[in-house]
Amino acid sequence: MKVRVEGYSGYKAHERPSRFCLGERWYEVQEVVDRWYGPDYLYFRVKADDGNLYVLRLDEREQEWSLSGYRVG
């Protein structure tokens, strides 16, 4: 599922997501719980302001974000 993500870019591009949109609702990222790298992808496990955990994936080649996982917090 594609998502819209706004984030912080400091030393590196896409350093961390700060909020994301699913459908019409925006979620604020309260905490980046984990991050890891795959070939051509960046993954972020985040805790959102609804208390749930989400895995956001950035395809670095296409510059597109998607929702890769979800868990009720």
pLDDT digits (tens, 9 = 90+) for 25-53: 999 999 999 999 988 999 999 999 999 99
Number of domains within the chain: 1
pLDDT at 15: 75
Domain span at residue 17 reads 4-71
Percent of the chain with pLDDT over 70: 92
Would you give the end-to-end CA distance of the chain in angstroms?
20
Altogether, the residues listed in the chain come to a count of 73
Q: Hunting for tokens 């991050």 — which residue is that?
A: 35
Q: How confident is the model at residue 8 (pLDDT cuts 50, 70, 90)?
A: confident
Mean pLDDT score across all residues of the chain: 91
